Amino acid sequence: MNPKINKSALVTGITGQDGSYLAELLLDRGYRVFGMVRRSSSSSTQRIDHLIQGDTPRVQLVPGDLADIASLRQVLEATRPDEVYNLAAQSHVSVSFQMPIYTSDVTGMGALRLLEALRELQMTDVRLYQAASSEMFGNATESPQSEQTPLMPRNPYAVAKVFAFHAVRTYREAYGMFAVNGILFNHESPRRGKQFVTRKISSGVAEIVHGKRESIALGNLAACRDWGYAGDYVEAMWQMLQQDSPSDLVVATGETHSVREFCDRAFAHAGLPLQWRGEGLNEHGVDKRGVTRVHVDPEYFRPAEVNYLLGNPARAKAELGWAPQVSFGQLVEMMVDADLAATGGGGAQAASRCASG
- 196/276 with CB nearer ligand NAP: 196
Q: Contact letters (x/-) for ligand F7E, 219-238, by CB under 6 A?
A: xx--x-x-------------
- 101/222 with CB nearer ligand F7E: 222
Strands 179-184 and 187-188: unpaired
Question: What's the closest the beta carbon of residue 331 comes to ligand F7E, in angstroms?
Answer: 13
Q: Candidates 130-138, 314-322, 334-342, 349-357 — which segment interacts with ligand F7E by CB under 6 A?
A: 130-138
Question: What's the closest the beta carbon of residue 124 comes to ligand F7E, in angstroms?
Answer: 27
> Environment class of residue 4 by beta-carbon count within 10 Å: exposed (0-12), middle (13-18) or buried (19+)?
exposed
User: What is the distance, to the nearest Å, from the Cα of residue 41 to the centroid of all Cα atoms in its chain?
Assistant: 25
- 91/202 with CB nearer ligand NAP: 91
Q: Is 68 left (phi over 0), alpha (psi -120 to 50) or beta?
A: beta
- 16/144 with CB nearer ligand NAP: 16
- Enumerate residues 6+ apart whose C-beta is below 8 A from 87: 11, 12, 13, 14, 16, 18, 19, 22, 131
- 117/158 with CB nearer ligand F7E: 158
Q: Which residue is nearest to ligand NAP (CB)?
A: 16
By the rule CB under 6 A, 302 interacts with ligand F7E:
yes
- In angstroms, the CA 85 to CA 180 distance is 10
- In angstroms, the CA 123 to CA 276 distance is 56
Among ligand NAP, ligand F7E, none, the one that 300 touches (CB under a kind-dependent 5 to 8 A) is ligand F7E
By the rule CB under 6 A, 197 interacts with ligand F7E:
yes
Among ligand NAP, ligand F7E, none, the one that 44 touches (CB under a kind-dependent 5 to 8 A) is ligand NAP
Query: Among residues 156, 103, 121, 131, which one has the least CA distance to residue 18?
Result: 131
Q: Is the peptide bond before 144 cis (omega within 30 degrees of 0)?
A: yes
Q: Contact letters (x/-) for ligand F7E, 306-345, by CB under 6 A?
A: x---------------------------------------
User: Do residues 98 and 150 touch, judged by C-beta distance below 8 A?
Assistant: no
- In angstroms, the CA 168 to CA 178 distance is 9
- 65/207 with CB nearer ligand NAP: 65
Among ligand F7E, ligand NAP, none, the one that 305 touches (CB under a kind-dependent 5 to 8 A) is ligand F7E
Among ligand F7E, ligand NAP, none, the one that 259 touches (CB under a kind-dependent 5 to 8 A) is ligand F7E
Q: Is 146 left (phi over 0), alpha (psi -120 to 50) or beta?
A: beta
311 DSSP 8-state letter: B
| Binds ligand F7E (CB under 6 A): choice among 15, 45, 79, 186 | 186
Question: What's the closest the beta carbon of residue 76 comes to ligand F7E, in angstroms?
Answer: 24
Question: What's the closest the beta carbon of residue 26 comes to ligand NAP, in angstroms?
Answer: 15
Among ligand F7E, ligand NAP, none, the one that 38 touches (CB under a kind-dependent 5 to 8 A) is ligand NAP
Residue 343 to residues 28, 122, 216, 292: CA-CA distances in angstroms?
30, 50, 16, 21
By the rule CB under 6 A, 91 interacts with ligand F7E:
yes
Question: What's the closest the beta carbon of residue 268 comes to ligand F7E, in angstroms?
Answer: 19
Question: What's the closest the beta carbon of residue 195 comes to ligand F7E, in angstroms?
Answer: 6
| C-alpha dihedral (42, 101, 36, 179), degrees to nearest 10 | 160
- 126/167 with CB nearer ligand F7E: 167
* Residue type (1 letter), 198: T
Strands 32-37 and 284-286: unpaired
Report CA torsion sign: 258, 17, 10, 117. positive
| Binds ligand F7E (CB under 6 A): choice among 29, 50, 166, 196 | 196
Angle value at C-alpha 36, between 30 and 42, nearest 5 degrees: 125
Which residues are near ligand F7E by CB under 6 A? Answer: 91, 93, 133-135, 185-186, 195-198, 200, 218-220, 223, 225, 259, 300, 302, 305-306
